[in-house]
Amino acid sequence: MRNPKIAFIGAGSVVFTQGLLADLLAYPELREARIALHDIDAERLRVAETVAHRIAAARGARPAVTADLDRRAALDGADFVINIIQVGGHDATVTDFEIPARYGLRQTIADTIGVGGIFRALRTFPVLDALAADMAAVCPDALLLNYTNPMAMNVWYLSGKVRNVVGLCHSVYWTMRGLADLVAVPYEEVAYLAAGVNHQAWVLRFERDGENLYDRLDDAIARDPELRRRVRVEMYRRLGHYPTETSEHSAEYLPWLLRHDDEIDRLRIPVGEYVRISEENVREYKRTRDAVRHGGDLPVEGTGEYAPQIIHSVVTGTPRVVYGNVVNDGLIANLPPGCVVEVPCAVDATGVLPTRVGALPPQCAAVNRAYVNVNELTVRAAREGRPEHVRHAMMVDPNTSATLSLEEIWRLCDDLTRAHGDLLPEALRATLAG
C-alpha cells in the first residue's frame, strides 16, 4: 500500500492529533501519507492543519495534508480512519459530574461506565451512526481505529455497522511500564499477558525468563505502606490479579469505595478528577493555538500509541502485537459472546487478528460481567430506542447502584436527559420518572 490515506475524525483534539502525527511521520514509509483532517470546529481544524504541517517539517516528511469541515470528503477513499471525537466537549463533561453530584453520586473520570460513561455513550452514538454511514459510502474497507470513550460501548455499538473496527487504549502498555518500574526490571525484559475489558483488564502473566514477577510485586507492596493506599493494589490484593487501569479510573467501576468517606481518604481517590483534566485540556489547546498564531515552538513528541504502529504494520507487513478492543467471538470464554473485550492482537499486512485467551480467573470474570451488563443495556437502549434501558443500565452500574435508591436513579436519569437534550438519540429523550 503506497501513500495510504489516513483520516482523523475529531482532529480538533489537537494535542492528541499532534502526538499521533508525530508517531506516524516518524516512520519513513509513512512520510508521504495522505493525511485528511476533519472537525466540526473551524478554528480547531485550522490549528490542527497548521500543527500537522509543522510536525511534518520537523520530521522531514512530505505528507499531503488536507483539512475539511465535511466529514465525508475527509473520509473519501481513506484506508485508515482514526476516531478521536468528544461529543459535547468540556461543557457536557461538567454536566456529567455536576448533576450526579447533587444526588450525592461521586465519580472520578466518568468516561467508561457509570452515569458519566452511559451518557457519554448516548451522546456519541448518533455521531457514530453518521460516521458508519459515510464510511459505508466512501471507504467501506477502511480500518476504523477508535480512541473515543466509552471504548467498549462505542466499539460494541459500531459492530455490524462498520466492517473493520478495533478500539485502542494505552492502559495495558502503561500499566506494564509501571509494574516493571515497581519490581525494578527493565520493561523490555518483561513478558506479560493481559485480558478482560477496557480499563478493567487483568494481568494474567507477569514474568521475566520464567520468573514470576508477581512475587517481586508482593515484596514491594509489603515494604511500602503507601502502595497499599492505591485502589488497583487493593484490587490486586483481593482478586489476585493486577488491573490495567489507574486507581482513579478503577475506583468508579466498583461498588465498595466511592460511597464511603473513609475509603476515599484511605485510598486517596480523587473525586471529580476528570473535570480538572478536562479544564487542563482546554488550557493546553489554547496554548497550542496561541503558539501557532504567534510562531512559537511546538513539541514534536511521539506517544507510543497503537494506531501509528498498526498502520505501519498493515502498510509494510511488519509484525507486531498490540492490545485491542474487539468483539468477543470466543476470545474470552467466560465473558458473554458479542460483548467487547480487550485482548492481545497480532498485526501484519493482513490486518488485526485478536488472540483467543480462554477463560479468565472466575473472580475477575465476575467483576468484568458487572461492567459488561452496563455496556449491553446502554447499547440496547440506543439500538432498540428504549429509554427504560438507560435506567436499567444505571440500576446495574456498580457505583451508582451502591449509592442511590431506585427512585433517585430514575430522577437523575431524567435530569441528565433534559440537560443533554438534542445530543441524545431522539428515541431516548423521554423522561420517565413518576
Bridge pairing between strands 320-327 and 80-83: unpaired
Confidence band of 302 (pLDDT split at 50, 70, 90)? confident
Residue range 137-151: average pLDDT? 98
- Asked, for residue 45, whether it belongs to a domain, the answer is yes
- 149 annotated ligand binder: yes
Return the beta strands (E) in 273-360 as ranges: 320-327, 340-348, 351-354
Phi, then psi, of 167 in degrees rounded to 5: -95, 140
Distance CA 103, CA 61 (A): 53
Q: What pLDDT does residue 295 have?
A: 82
Residue range 250-272: average pLDDT? 98
Q: What pLDDT does residue 434 have?
A: 61
Q: What pLDDT does residue 200 have?
A: 98
- Asked, for residue 389, whether it belongs to a domain, the answer is no
Q: Is 90 a catalytic residue?
A: no
Cα distances (angstroms) measured from residue 200 to each of 96, 112, 277 = 21, 10, 21
pLDDT tens profile 152-166: 999 999 999 999 999
Confidence band of 126 (pLDDT split at 50, 70, 90)? very high
Q: Label residues 72-84 b or e (16+ Cβ within 10 Å = b).
A: bebbbebbbbbbb
Cα torsion through 61, 64, 68, 70, rounded to 10: -130
Alpha carbon of residue 118 to chain centroid: 14
Cα distances (angstroms) measured from residue 245 to each of 98, 222, 340, 376 = 24, 21, 17, 21
Average pLDDT, the chain: 96
Is residue 94 classed as helix, strand or coil in its secondary structure?
A: helix
DSSP 8-class letter at 125: H
Q: What pLDDT does residue 300 have?
A: 76
Examine the pLDDT at 299 and tell me if it is beyond 80.
no
- Asked, for residue 386, whether it belongs to a domain, the answer is no
Residue range 219-232: average pLDDT? 97
How many domains in the chain?
Answer: 1
- Asked, for residue 397, whether it belongs to a domain, the answer is no
Q: What pLDDT does residue 234 have?
A: 98
Examine the pLDDT at 224 and tell me if it is beyond 90.
yes
**Are the C-beta atoms of residues 87 and 20 closer than 8 Å to each other?**
no
DSSP 369-380: HHHHHHHHHHHH
Distance CA 17, CA 200 (A): 25
- Asked, for residue 143, whether it belongs to a domain, the answer is yes
Examine the pLDDT at 296 and tell me if it is beyond 90.
no
Bridge pairing between strands 320-327 and 351-354: unpaired
End-to-end CA distance of the chain: 58
pLDDT tens profile 388-425: 999 999 999 999 999 999 999 999 999 999 999 999 99
- 199 annotated ligand binder: yes
Closest CA to 422 of 110, 10, 87: 87
- Asked, for residue 52, whether it belongs to a domain, the answer is yes
C-alpha cell at 269: 481517590
Question: What is the residue range of 18's domain?
Answer: 5-88+114-167
CATH number of the domain that residue 79 is part of: 3.40.50.720
C-alpha cell at 407: 427512585
Looking at the DSSP assignment, which residues form a beta bridge with residue 157? none
Looking at the DSSP assignment, which residues form a beta bridge with residue 56? none
**Are the C-beta atoms of residues 194 and 172 closer than 8 Å to each other?**
yes
Q: What pLDDT does residue 2 have?
A: 81
**Catalytic residue (choose from 53, 170, 241, 420):** 170
Q: What pLDDT does residue 301 have?
A: 81
- Asked, for residue 145, whether it belongs to a domain, the answer is yes
Cα distances (angstroms) measured from residue 133 to each of 138, 161, 173 = 9, 8, 32
pLDDT tens profile 66-102: 999 999 999 999 999 999 999 999 999 999 999 999 9
- Asked, for residue 25, whether it belongs to a domain, the answer is yes
Residue range 217-241: average pLDDT? 97
